[in-house]
């Protein structure tokens, strides 16, 4: 039976079940919070980011959720350094030029600090002389560390990043470090037989096209000679000079 769960990932937790990159490492992984054999993440969330992750035990569902071709919207709550203004928000919506290209149009708006927000451990570093502000950013693409690079590009470095939603799934009612089962959605299946291409018709069209090309080539090879070509051919058959052809005696 297919299983789908949502998880509220804390800060400084690797988005995987094992830490194979460093022997003897004390870094936390998903295994410290989720005891569900056979499930794996449908998409990633950086170690220094928090919030919603989806996990499943079915490859087809995992691909449907994480495949960029489906353009599943993801909403992030972002705390930035400085008081973000409407000009910066507009720039985020239109697209920001990054080293790997222009970002796609997004949805962005300023927001108050979320009421249900949990305390982060460790807390962010703040400076008394510089305020912070919050912005909600919804994307339909997933460049590497995209949100952080986007806010930095418009002059407001990210201090805290929380993924609030993936498609229709959200963090609502889920405390930090907790997970819960979700109802498995109906995944669009392969095309129905009536929607599949007609292989026999395709073969027939290809055969007819090939026959037409062969016929055209045959006509080119056996084309009727032009008047000039015919006259040249006649001259080669009759070696008599043109000037003397008119003086030939007529046959009785």
Dihedral (C-alpha) 113, 65, 138, 15: value to the nearest 10 degrees? 50
d(CA 173, CA 175) in angstroms, rounded, equals 7
For residue 43, the 8-state DSSP code is S
Residue 80, phi then psi, degrees to nearest 5: -120, 160
Residue 203, phi then psi, degrees to nearest 5: -65, -40
CA distances from residue 109 to 89, 135, 143, 214 in whole angstroms, order as listed: 6, 6, 20, 63
Residue 110, phi then psi, degrees to nearest 5: -70, 150
d(CA 67, CA 65) in angstroms, rounded, equals 6
Contact in structure between 19 and 133 (CB atoms under 8 Å): no
d(CA 30, CA 54) in angstroms, rounded, equals 12
Residue 147, phi then psi, degrees to nearest 5: -60, -45
Residues identified as active-site? 46
For residue 39, the 8-state DSSP code is -
């Amino acid at each position: 039976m297919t299983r789908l769960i949502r998880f509220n990932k804390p800060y400084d937790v690797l988005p995987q079940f094992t830490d194979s990159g460093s022997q003897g490492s004390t870094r936390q992984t998903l295994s410290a919070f989720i005891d569900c054999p056979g499930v794996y993440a449908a998409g990633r969330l950086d170690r220094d980011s928090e919030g919603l992750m989806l996990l499943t035990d079915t490859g087809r569902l995992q691909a449907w959720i994480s495949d960029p071709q489906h353009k599943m919207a993801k909403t992030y709550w972002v705390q930035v350094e400085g008081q973000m203004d409407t000009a910066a928000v507009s720039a985020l919506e239109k697209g920001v030029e990054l080293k790997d290209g222009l970002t796609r149009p997004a949805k962005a708006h300023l927001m108050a600090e979320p009421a249900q927000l949990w305390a982060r451990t460790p807390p962010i570093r703040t400076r008394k002389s510089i305020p912070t502000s919050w912005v909600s950013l919804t994307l339909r693409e997933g460049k590497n560390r995209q949100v952080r690079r986007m806010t930095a590009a418009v002059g407001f470095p990210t201090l805290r990043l929380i993924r609030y939603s993936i498609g229709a799934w959200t963090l609502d009612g889920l405390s930090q470090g907790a997970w819960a089962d979700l109802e498995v959605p109906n995944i669009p299946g392969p095309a129905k037989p009536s929607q599949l291409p007609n292989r026999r018709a395709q073969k027939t069209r290809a055969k007819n096209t090939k026959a037409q090309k062969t016929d055209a080539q045959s006509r080119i090879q056996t084309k009727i000679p032009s008047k000039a070509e015919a006259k040249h051919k006649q001259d080669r058959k009759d070696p008599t000079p043109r000037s003397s052809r008119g003086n030939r005696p007529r046959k009785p």
